[in-house]
Amino acid sequence: MDRRKKKLRRRRRNRLTAVLLVLMLFFIWLGARNYMNMEGLGLPGSGDGGRLSACLEDLYSPSAALVDAGTGEKLGAAGGSRRIYPASMTKIMTAVVALEHISSLDETITMPGDFYGQLYEENASMAGFEPGEEVSYRELLYGALLPSGAECCMAFAEKIAGSESGFAEMMNEKARELGMRDTHFTNCTGLHDRKHYSTAEDMARLVVYALKNDTFRQAFTSRSYTMASTAFHPGGFTVTSTLFASLSDPSVTGGEILGGKTGYTQEAGLCLASLAEVNGKEYVLVTAGAPGDHQSEPYHVLDAVKVYGRIGENAE
């Protein structure tokens, strides 16, 4: 009888040990999963800014990265290292490479006509310059960054590198120099190509670098720019920032959105690289993959307003 009782007790102990072992393994797995998913949740130990990281919850955009505009320090990310199609955010790199290879922005060029047919066929965004029109490099810069003019980017590429493919190699070289580890450019406009990709974190790194150039910063934060009179446009013409066209009030809690570059293709979704000042500090936010298109609500802009507003609210 005593032997039977001992066997029963031993079985119970073995069952209890097995249950405890299963529970222990389950909690180890759960902890590991939570650690891997902490990016963008603002949990202790996530290494991306605590409360500021939590500002990236519940966005329309599945990929987002928030950084300190002055230092480039990562403050939060949600899908920040996931590959994206950057669409017209590409033109930020186009502008950077152009600025670093042009001696005088006041020098004028004649707009080539060989690429217009391709751009029209691909329904690319245009600033409004015509083939054969005399344009300054400064006007090309504003035309690329404000209305997202593809013809401005192509003119930069042909004049600086001789071809778009040659210019894309210069863009890739700059990306490597900046430590953009998961970025590859095949063109200067952001038109869709499956081999043309980046990440929100890489693009944020690029924006922080670009903003150190005062000329870039001035264009990036401008709401509009008026082009000089030419034979094609005797009265000149004014281009408007695609960001501010969707943002009637740039103010957010504690500050305002200062500027940015939008992007859209069907494959990329709505994208935005933006700069804001909140409570005396500047932030760069890059979001990508939001639903919608040019006719829908500007979900990428709504995300920026939400994130910057949350930063301001956190400080109150």
Query: Which residues are part of the catalytic machinery?
Result: 88, 91, 148
Rounded distance, CA 26 to CA 30, Å? Answer: 6
- The crossing angle, in degrees rounded to 10, of helices 200-210 and 90-99 is 30
- The crossing angle, in degrees rounded to 10, of helices 150-161 and 164-177 is 90
The Cβ-side half-sphere exposure at 199, using a 13 Å CA radius, reads 17
Sign of CA dihedral 155, 161, 166, 171: negative
Question: Are 134 and 110 a contacting pair, CB within 8 Å?
Answer: yes
Question: Are 40 and 64 a contacting pair, CB within 8 Å?
Answer: yes
Rounded distance, CA 153 to CA 130, Å? Answer: 14
